[in-house]
Structure 1
């Protein structure tokens, strides 16, 4: 399955993962980096450990659902109504 996915080279960063630590990002020269969500205009929307753990959780959950044959191949970090409530509060 992994051979069917793109494997683009990252020139300035490295991403690794383990089951117990989730995603880890570093610069090409080994300095610690952080994962971020960036919108189409290049604005950083959210950054840090919560982004990395949310991404990791979604990856693990969708894989587990696939293995269990549940058919839930899309996993979200939270229900859509949660995001709507946040937007209304802002």
Structure 2
């Protein structure tokens, strides 16, 4: 997958580009700025925006770095595998720390 020619340009209605000091840039076919989104199997958008692009970029770079140092077989995770994501329901007005974390 990583060794050999890398095929890009397969999107019909958008384009992606990257520069090492900028990360990912996404545009519509008309050249307008666009956002990346994470969509679950039911079609629900669960994450979107610049942070999704940053996370995708960081995971790709981490994976590539592992490949370069001979650890290309290692999988990169954005959170520990097997653990549910924690979401902060609301912040306490007293100390600015979360009152409750929901798993």
TM-score when scaled to structure 1?
0.82
Larger Cα-atom Rg? 2
- Which deviates the most, 43-52 or 5-14? 5-14
Is the aligned partner of 1:86 residue 2:91?
Answer: no
Q: Give the helix-richer structure, 1 or 2.
A: 1
Structure 2 unpaired stretches of 5+ = 88-100
Partner residue in 1 for 2:19: 18
Written as runs of structure 1 = structure 2, the 5 A alignment for 1:47-62 is 47-62=48-63
Q: CA deviation at 1:40?
A: 1.2
Q: CA deviation at 1:70?
A: 2.6
Indicate conservation of the 8 Å contact 2:9/2:15, yes or no.
no
After superposition, the CA RMSD in angstroms is 2.2
Where structure 1 has 5 or more consecutive residues not aligned to the other structure, the ranges are none
Structure number with greater CO (CA < 8 Å, separation at least 6) is 1
Aligned residues: 88
- Could you state the TM-score of these two structures normalised by the residue count of structure 2? 0.73
